[in-house]
Structure 1
Amino acid sequence: MASQIFVNLPVKDLDKSMEFFTKLGFSFDPRFTAAKAACLILGENTFVMLLLEHFFKTFTKKEISDASKSTEVLIAINVDTREKVGELIQKAVEAGGSICMDPEDHGWMYGHGFADLDGHQWEILYMDINAALQA
């Protein structure tokens, strides 16, 4: 079983991407942050490596998807409250991101999504596990 998860995403401007996620309240692990990459901390064992596109290309022989035109991955983050969903979406838009999906309310699960500066789609979710188990 994996002890840590690192998702790798290509970005056009590392400084702007770091500024964007800092405005959302996230921080970076300085041990894995340098001129070509930054380690965004999502949780205790969950990280997103923001890699400059030219550096990202050194890890794959495939073309990089243009996230503003197609979706290769959806990144979902579970938060503690429904209100936190709205707060993160608002911060993302204020920091230069955009809404990429309408809010969805399934009773036990509520979510909303934004696209970051490079078009990567992030879904912010609140899940009431106890209500889900009763459904």
Structure 2
Amino acid sequence: MTPRATRRTVLLTSGAAAALAAGCGSGGGGDTAAGTAGRELTSTADVPVGGGTILKEEKVVVTQPEEGEFKAFSAICTHQNCLVSEVTDGTIDCPCHGSRFRITDGSVAHGPATRPLPEERITVEGNSVRRA
């Protein structure tokens, strides 16, 4: 007679498989910002003063609220995880539901999002913006 799988054994088995899968992969940490530390994101010349540049592949927005002041935020909207589409008039704009975030600190300028864009750590070396 074959033992029946209960909900508990299925959940435990699934959890163990997920833990094993999470431990596999290059670098052991998966796709994390730590794995790309020091990598150039963009040139300072590509980030307009009072605006910003969306780096779709990296899922990062780099802004320059005032000349020489660079900030970076996640390019994933905190409302429903859409990729933001443009930086205009001092805000980072999401095309999905109209959320807008301030280029100065990532805070919500217009909902429906209620949480700010998470800040990304960067350094500026010469005319290069890099992950910290």
What is the TM-score normalised by the length of structure 2?
Answer: 0.24
Structure having the higher helix fraction is: 1
Structure having the higher strand fraction is: 1
When Rg is computed on C-alpha atoms for both structures, the one with the higher figure is 2
